Each structure stands twice: as structure tokens, then as C-alpha cells.
Amino acid sequence: MDRNQQLFERARALIPGGVNSPVRAFRAVGGTPRFVQRAEGAYFWDANGARHIDYIGSWGPMILGHGHPAVVEAVQKAVRDGFSFGAPTEREVELAEEIVKHLPAVEMVRLVSSGTEAAMSAIRLARGATGRSRLIKFEGCYHGHADALLVKAGSGLATFGHPTSAGVPPEVVQHTLVLEYNNVAQLEEAFTRYGNELACVIIEPIAGNMNFVRASVPFMKKLRELCTNHGALLVFDEVMTGFRVALGSAQALYARNIPGFRPDLTVLGKVIGGGMPLAAFGGPRALMEHLAPLGPVYQAGTLSGNPVATACGLATLQQISDPRFFPMLEARTRTLVEGLRGAAEAEGVPFAADHQGGMFGFFLLPQLPANYGEVMKSDAAKFGRLFHGLLDRGIYIAPALYEAGFVSSAHSEDDIAQTVAAAREVFRTLA
């Protein structure tokens, strides 16, 4: 008897679609979602007791794997001291210090409870600090489900977007301009038309919601120049990439290739909470002091800086700050990606992949895409067969071809070898 199926049927009677976040429903790949019973290290066990090698890791936070002893100990101690106070704690300060220590662009930080809240608040801050209303986002980048960000590209070049969700009035997104990722010419045209009206540009430097697509260095360099010249703020959404692709996050990678590069505001989540509901946004002191109670931009939250969440996040950041950590994680991820690439090539399956730190993505395409339109050329039906073939062999990847994957320090060489061997078996059926 399939306990996953039983639970899904119960859930659908009570929860819309049977899930509390849409991608979990397996709509893109078909079949029954796996209900997780428990997790440890690189694995989780579903409701049937079947073990899976987990390459989602709660969509990124579990960079140390599930249940790392140092993190568990910190959380247990915090729980004994109290769940929530609605008042400041020393640990909030310690976590802020840890974040600021590793991100030169961040001098002050405000803790919140979710990536959506952090991105929404950063945009409000950008508008409040500049006195402007318009903003740019890029097609294929996801910044949470705030109304102004649930938009898709308009019908023509550099046109304003229109809602992609019911319940979002067109007038709410009238100030949101949607451009093609990595398109320098379109970016220049948008700034020519609207540069003096733009409060900010928000971007995922490595877009993890169209699988894994990097912003090219020339594109990022031009974006930084245009924002500086026109007085718009550059907002880096590093909810997914923050402390996941490098200790200094994605912004450190661009700083290696663009002298003096820094974003104006940074949005963080996932890893900084270690699996607990915690996110943040931060930037230079002069900008952050526009926030209440110092300035006129209001933002507040009952559970912001929750003492249990900050204990989890702080313990996680302390572990990954070991100078040996990211070289090890990068090597492990590279082994996985190169193994998958070799397995696909051996079976004659088109396959392109990229990775950074503990984050990776692949496409059943002959070359890496540069934007959402190219990502959409992926073969969804073939991906569904790959997903279920891996799932049947105990390998759990994202149940949608538009989502990145994640490796943790808990993944062993044997886990990766098993994954590559399973993938080659499945690739053989796709050729």
C-alpha cells in the first residue's frame, strides 16, 4: 500500500492541490509527491520508508546536509531558552555580524522571515531611498510572490509587464519593466527610455528558477554601469545563491572579474537560516538607515530574528566559514556534473550543465541557454521520464526542469557515483 498516495489524497481534501508550495505537487512531471518522513545527511526517507539521495536539500538551505550535529545542538539549546520573544536577542546581532563579515557590500542588515518578504522590503527601500517608482526585473527570475514581481514580459521590446497571477491588478505592475536576461541591447534601451525614473533593478545573478543560468560578466558590468550612471539601485537577489555558490556569495564571483563591483542592496535567504524560516536584506549604512525606526520606510515582523531560526542560521554559517569548506563542496559538485555529462554523452543524449559551489543545473539541450526563451526549448516530456527514472532508482532531483539542484557537504563520493550510474541507465532509455 502506497502511503505517499494515501497522504496525497488526504492532503488534496484539505490543502489546495495537496501541497503548500506549488512545485511540490509534481504537476510538471506527473505522479505522486513523496511525503518525507525523516531526513539525515544526504538522504531522506519517504512515507513508504524508501530512502532517496536528496539533491533538493529543502531547495538550497541544507548545505551541510540534514541534521548536522553542530546545527542540531545549537537549535536544541535555543529551543530550551525559548521559542520567540518579540524582543531583541544577542544572537540576532551575532548573525548580522557573520553576514556583514563575508559581504563587503553589506554594512547593515535587517532580518525577516522569508525570501519573498526580503525582496519585497528591499524594493520598498529602493523606492523610498530614491523617490522613484519604476523597477526592472528579468524574465525567468523569481523574487517571491509579492504582487509587483509576479509579472511576465510584455509584447514588445522594453515594454512593461502584465500579471502572471490572478488577483494581481494590472495597475499594481504598471511600474514593473520586464526584460530578457543577458540581453545588453534591451537593457540599454530600457535605461535610455526610463533611466531617470528607475528606482532599482532586481536580478538573480545566477537564475535558479530557470534551472541554472548565469548572468554573463559583460551583461553584469553594463548593468552596474547603467545603474550607477542613472541613479538606480542594483538589487542582488541572492536568496538562492547567497552563501551557496561561494562564501562571499555570487557577488564575490562578479567582483573577481569586474573591478570594484558591488550591488547596492542584497537579498538573502535559505542558507542563512540553515533550514529555518529566516531571510534578510542589507546594504550600505546610508541606504539601510532609511528604514524605520531611523527613517520613513516602514518594515516590521513579529517573528523577524526568531531566536531558534537565528541559532540554526548562525551555526550553519560558522560551519561553512571553514576555509576548506567551499573548495571541497565545489569539487564534489563538479564530480557530479562531469559524471552526468559523461553519462549523457555515452548514451547519445543532448545534455548541457553548469555549476558553482554547491549549486548546479542541467538541460537536455546541446548547449547552455542564456535566457528564459532558450530554457523553454527544453524537452519537458523527456525530462519527466528522466525524473521518474531517477526517482525509481532512489535519486531525488527537482520535480520540474526549471529548478536548480543542490549538493551538500554530506553527499559522499559513493552517493555521487550511484547517482551517475543511475543516470546513465535512464539516459539509455532516452536516447
152 belongs to the catalytic site:
no
Active-site entry in 254, 264, 270, 396? 270
C-alpha closest to that of 222 among 248, 189, 193, 253:
189
For residue 153, name the pLDDT band (cuts at 50, 70, 90): low
- Residue 161 has a pLDDT of 63
Active-site entry in 237, 264, 354, 415? 237
142 belongs to the catalytic site:
yes
- Judged by DSSP in three states, 234 sits in strand
Per-residue DSSP letters for 172-184?
GGTTEEEE-TT-H
Cell of 231: 541613479
pLDDT tens, 247-282? 999 999 999 999 999 999 999 999 999 999 999 999
pLDDT tens, 317-360? 999 999 999 999 999 999 999 999 999 999 999 999 999 999 99
Which residue type sits at 176? T
Please give, one letter per residue, the 3-state secondary structure of 253-305.
HHHHHCCCCCCCEEEECHHHHECECCEEEEECHHHHCCECCCCCECCCCCCCC
- Residue 157 has a pLDDT of 40
Q: Is the pLDDT of residue 362 over 50?
A: yes
pLDDT tens, 405-414? 999 999 999 9
For residue 163, name the pLDDT band (cuts at 50, 70, 90): confident
Active-site entry in 43, 142, 194, 254? 142
Cα(412)–Cα(414) distance, rounded to whole angstroms? 5
Query: How many other β-carbons are positioned within 10 Å of the β-carbon of residue 58?
Result: 18
Q: Is the pLDDT of residue 209 over 80?
A: yes
- Residue 10 has a pLDDT of 98
Q: Is the pLDDT of residue 416 over 50?
A: yes
When pLDDT is averaged across residues 68-73 and rounded to a whole number, the result is: 98
For residue 155, name the pLDDT band (cuts at 50, 70, 90): very low
Q: Output the CATH code of domain 69-320.
A: 3.40.640.10
Q: Which residues, 6+ apart, have CB-to-CB distance to 125 below 8 Å?
A: 265, 281, 287, 288, 290, 291, 297, 299
The answer to whether 211 and 375 have CB atoms below 8 angstroms apart is yes
For residue 159, name the pLDDT band (cuts at 50, 70, 90): very low
Q: How far is CA 394 from CA 42, 99, 281, 391, in A?
A: 12, 36, 37, 5
User: What percent of the chain clears pLDDT 70, i.e. is strictly above it?
Assistant: 98
When pLDDT is averaged across residues 27-33 and rounded to a whole number, the result is: 95
For residue 50, name the pLDDT band (cuts at 50, 70, 90): very high
Strand segments, DSSP code E, in 185-274 are 198-203, 206-207, 213-214, 233-238, 265-268
Domain 3-67+324-430 has CATH 3.90.1150.10: yes
Residue in this structure with the C-alpha cell 530574528, named with its chain if needed? 305
pLDDT tens, 369-404? 999 999 999 999 999 999 999 999 999 999 998 999
When pLDDT is averaged across residues 193-214 and rounded to a whole number, the result is: 96
For residue 431, name the pLDDT band (cuts at 50, 70, 90): confident
Q: What's the whole-model pTM score?
A: 0.96
When pLDDT is averaged across residues 21-27 and rounded to a whole number, the result is: 93
When pLDDT is averaged across residues 45-66 and rounded to a whole number, the result is: 98
When pLDDT is averaged across residues 5-17 and rounded to a whole number, the result is: 98
Who wins on pLDDT, 173 or 69?
69
Per-residue DSSP letters for 93-162?
HHHHHHHHHH-TT-SEEEEES-HHHHHHHHHHHHHHHHT--EEEEETT----S-GGG-EE--SSTTPBPE
Q: What is the average pLDDT score of the chain? A: 96
- Residue 359 has a pLDDT of 98
237 belongs to the catalytic site:
yes
Question: How many residues would you count in the chain?
Answer: 431
Q: Is the pLDDT of residue 171 over 90?
A: no
Domain range annotation of the chain: 3-67+324-430, 69-320
